[in-house]
Structure 1
């Protein structure tokens, strides 16, 4: 079977972001687009010859066809072995686990995470390194450089591989192992958590709802929650993965998981609720009439992780992205462990996890994880919460109340302004940037600015520096406003405003978050001139 070398030329816009390359699906389906990027990945890592890769994705539109292309190209580039999820399906954390378990040379993960799917929606592809985590900046920079100089790519002329049958097969000279996407992941979860305690919780009449949002976590949640720990059939809703996520937006937040929110925010609601996203790496946690912010979830998990067998010996440290609230910082101080503040992007946690400087990590964008893989992990977070509830024998609301009484409450919210004209979003960032040096010492809406800067990060493990990672305004009393342009969208620019205020008065821990944050919101609007965006309100509030 001969290798074909196909002439091509560079295509604009193939610079990977914090989570790989994301574009509209039709862009990826364009002539040479996918092939150019895949060849650039192989070239950037020193070639594919003799290497082993994990390949799989979240099942969105074009997932299956793209995997066939990647397999042909991997074989043509001399790869020795590919491990592929059955039907081309793998959650992102499950793919990370397989990379680590089989000591492969990395993996190609097909997903646009929480973005909508379909022929007119979004698609994505990223390379994960041999530690199971997203490629570091040095590698993504090299991938981009290769996209700018590519002149050809290599592939084979073969029939599509049958990915439905578990077992061994081949493409050209490359061995292909098709694996059940759930089995290895479930075994890892059984090592980390007390499944008997969780089973006993469900046997006691405990009720739960898990919204898989017609995304990749459906089969995992069905197998583990309903099949292994005994949650009643029907606990998992929207459990069948669909190419367009059932026409929904697979982002587990109050805006997009509306049916779950309506069910949980009721006196007759289940005891516990959760949702996960398109590729299974994000989570939303709910109790009856109780919403748990991702920042609070990270803090609570850090304070209670020792209740799960996999973390019973304690934590080495904890890490959070800079826009995530400072709630976990006080928990870390109480535990006497290190706490790291990193830029947004899971790849920044990788060195800390690899060096055993951090055990848990999290982002305000509904992502939490630990050193069991090198990705955030939605179902892992759900199982850790269940383990904590099973041991403490209390409700989600009571866990939060106890936590706030002990550590204080960081009222927190994120306001997203989506699909903005790029120049409009950049103009706002410039307005704030121009004020950074003069803001300290001024008072805005009764709040005194203590510090203002553009966040930069020096990795404590390898010494690398990342600059321009978001604009921070620190007010007195522990309040913060942060402005950042997100790199996860595919249409225009997304501006994210993060607002935080610390409250330690035990009598003021039950306010509406937006009301508690009203002064900080007003100050942030005043400083940024946010009304110039031409929007009456944010598109998404979390």
Structure 2
């Protein structure tokens, strides 16, 4: 039986770059989830007999929200819901299912790389029919609807048991519970030379994958230890847990320190990788060397043709504005398109759908291609393995050869987490107020050539996004970018991106901190970070 339940609106249900994210107790407020899901159902386009994909990263409160979403889909006229067994679907696997099953969209439950548990973070994101995150016109319409909502629809019956694979009924709704790994693994087999990677591993190549007790554990075990024959134990922290084992599921130098330390040992494995809470980010490590996400994007774009799925070459590359310009150098040398977009994977969707680009990436450890409409951690690991198998070189050798050919973009991101939002916004306002007068200013040996607040006009649909981050570019191409992140749930996260290009191979061996020292000092001077945030140093450097 369908029930219409009276409710009152909340005023804080504005989706960010990756959906609505709050602390778990916030989502547990009366009707908080129901209001947002109903608002989504009220504004998204869907045909008759619409199909909806539902799944998440298994974090605390995942299963309860899956059940609510199923019951509300039944009451709102959906014909079929496809849900991962036990409510589990990595974000790229959900995107693949939406595309493969021609669903009208999907609800992805995740707060990505943010911590989980009863007091941790939770998130709800809607993906459209192309498999990608909802564009701003949908998120804005959803927010507007949440401010006026007065009722939601839900069936009174309980949701079916989602631990049993197969079809179930809930009124007129078919609830199809699927193996969360099967369709995704089948797609990976189409794209990569599994036989070549298998032979490399059988020949003594050693790897380690840290799933961080997050969603990719089952995917990694099935693909790396199953299909590719890596020894049992290659995948560590491979059981998804509601609190990610008490850890922070962000694959960076701080939270994946154990993996990095393991690869820095003289007798360490040849290759290491990690992925995040919902499986869309990646960390790549070679013996004795950590690959920056920006370099990883450039290397994969330059070598994608070595994988069967990209043997004909790539159409172009897209990167988020704060991501280093290493990928630009690949695109220019190869004569293919390069696009600079705001942060957020949704901005890549139109470019991918229009066939303008094949490979996309963000400096925040996200890389992907046109196989889905999300970044994809396991995909990135497999493409690296394919390149290693095809070239028979080490990660370090591949990186050094890449720098010799294209030059090296030294790059760091400095994160100031959970700072006072008022101070962080004042910092950004101060920078914007000074942009017009900044050109020509000298800071040590650095001279500002241009400064702006990045705006983007989508070349496909003409939509415009403004206020996407302050860019300060110096003569010679070095730059500093200041931006507030939209992925946190408490206070504000200030991100400062620092980049310098070095063409001389004799200087490619510098440590990033050394190569970027003057720029780092200049970032403090220009941004007045201590004044506005009270912080003397960043919480995380990647």
Q: Do both proteins adopt the same fold according to a TM-score greater than 0.5, normalized to the shorter chain?
A: yes
Q: Give the distance between the partners of 2:314 and 2:234, measured in 1 at CA.
A: 32
Once the two structures are TM-superposed, the CA of residue 47 in structure 1 deviates from its matched residue by 6.7
Match for residue 537 of structure 2?
Answer: 537
Q: Give the distance between the partners of 1:72 and 1:6, measured in 2 at CA.
A: 13
Once the two structures are TM-superposed, the CA of residue 374 in structure 1 deviates from its matched residue by 0.1
Q: Give the distance between the partners of 1:225 and 1:47, measured in 2 at CA.
A: 37
SS in 2 for 1:274: strand
Match for residue 503 of structure 2?
Answer: 504
SS in 1 for 2:373: coil
2:353 counterpart of 1:338: no
Runs of 4+ in 1 over 6 A off after TM superposition: none
Q: Give the distance between the partners of 1:387 and 1:508, measured in 2 at CA.
A: 29
SS in 2 for 1:94: helix
Match for residue 356 of structure 2?
Answer: 357
Deviates more, 1:84-93 or 1:163-172: 163-172
C-alpha spacing 1:46/1:355, structure 2 compared with 1 (3 Å): closer
Q: Give the distance between the partners of 1:494 and 1:295, measured in 2 at CA.
A: 20
Q: In 2, are the aligned partners of 1:134 and 1:375 still within 8 Å (CA)? A: yes
Q: Give the distance between the partners of 2:390 and 2:48, measured in 1 at CA.
A: 49
Structure 2 gap segments, 5+ residues each: none
2:53 counterpart of 1:60: no
Deviations 1:138-173 (A, max 9, x none): 111110111011010000111242111111101121
Match for residue 115 of structure 2?
Answer: 116
Q: Give the distance between the partners of 2:445 and 2:270, measured in 1 at CA.
A: 40
Q: In 2, are the aligned partners of 1:214 and 1:245 still within 8 Å (CA)? A: yes
Once the two structures are TM-superposed, the CA of residue 445 in structure 1 deviates from its matched residue by 2.0
Match for residue 439 of structure 1?
Answer: 438
Match for residue 402 of structure 2?
Answer: 403
Once the two structures are TM-superposed, the CA of residue 434 in structure 1 deviates from its matched residue by 1.4
Q: Give the distance between the partners of 1:530 and 1:515, measured in 2 at CA.
A: 20
Q: In 1, are the aligned partners of 2:160 and 2:175 still within 8 Å (CA)? A: no
Q: Give the distance between the partners of 2:409 and 2:8, measured in 1 at CA.
A: 51
Match for residue 32 of structure 2?
Answer: 33
Q: Give the distance between the partners of 2:346 and 2:297, measured in 1 at CA.
A: 18
Q: Give the distance between the partners of 1:535 and 1:49, measured in 2 at CA.
A: 54
Match for residue 327 of structure 1?
Answer: 326
Match for residue 270 of structure 2?
Answer: 271
SS in 2 for 1:437: helix
SS in 2 for 1:299: helix
SS in 2 for 1:453: strand
Structure 1 gap segments, 5+ residues each: none
Once the two structures are TM-superposed, the CA of residue 116 in structure 1 deviates from its matched residue by 0.4
Match for residue 142 of structure 2?
Answer: 143
Match for residue 367 of structure 1?
Answer: 366
Deviations 1:369-391 (A, max 9, x none): 00000000000000000000000
Q: In 1, are the aligned partners of 2:410 and 2:499 still within 8 Å (CA)? A: yes
Deviations 1:295-337 (A, max 9, x none): 0000000110000000000101100000000000010011110
SS in 2 for 1:210: strand
Once the two structures are TM-superposed, the CA of residue 433 in structure 1 deviates from its matched residue by 1.0
Match for residue 468 of structure 2?
Answer: 469
Q: In 2, are the aligned partners of 1:433 and 1:454 still within 8 Å (CA)? A: yes
SS in 2 for 1:472: strand
Map 1:207-222 → 2, pairs under 5 A: 207-222=206-221
Deviates more, 1:347-356 or 1:160-169: 160-169
Q: Give the distance between the partners of 1:379 and 1:34, measured in 2 at CA.
A: 30
Map 1:87-486 → 2, pairs under 5 A: 87-486=86-485
SS in 2 for 1:73: helix
Q: In 2, are the aligned partners of 1:47 and 1:77 still within 8 Å (CA)? A: no
Q: Give the distance between the partners of 1:109 and 1:241, measured in 2 at CA.
A: 16
Aligned length: 541
Aligned CA-pair RMSD: 0.8
SS in 2 for 1:435: helix
Q: Give the distance between the partners of 1:12 and 1:464, measured in 2 at CA.
A: 26
Q: Give the distance between the partners of 1:254 and 1:104, measured in 2 at CA.
A: 37
Q: Give the distance between the partners of 1:62 and 1:245, measured in 2 at CA.
A: 13
Q: Give the distance between the partners of 1:46 and 1:404, measured in 2 at CA.
A: 46
Q: Give the distance between the partners of 1:46 and 1:369, measured in 2 at CA.
A: 26
Match for residue 16 of structure 1?
Answer: 15
Once the two structures are TM-superposed, the CA of residue 50 in structure 1 deviates from its matched residue by 3.0
Q: Give the distance between the partners of 1:114 and 1:267, measured in 2 at CA.
A: 30
C-alpha spacing 1:359/1:46, structure 2 compared with 1 (3 Å): closer
Q: Give the distance between the partners of 2:441 and 2:351, measured in 1 at CA.
A: 36
Q: In 1, are the aligned partners of 2:46 and 2:104 still within 8 Å (CA)? A: no
Deviates more, 1:144-153 or 1:258-267: 258-267
C-alpha spacing 1:371/1:194, structure 2 compared with 1 (3 Å): same
Q: Give the distance between the partners of 2:31 and 2:48, measured in 1 at CA.
A: 22
Q: In 2, are the aligned partners of 1:48 and 1:77 still within 8 Å (CA)? A: no
Deviations 1:163-211 (A, max 9, x none): 1111110112100111000000000000000000000110110010100
Q: Give the distance between the partners of 1:144 and 1:49, measured in 2 at CA.
A: 25
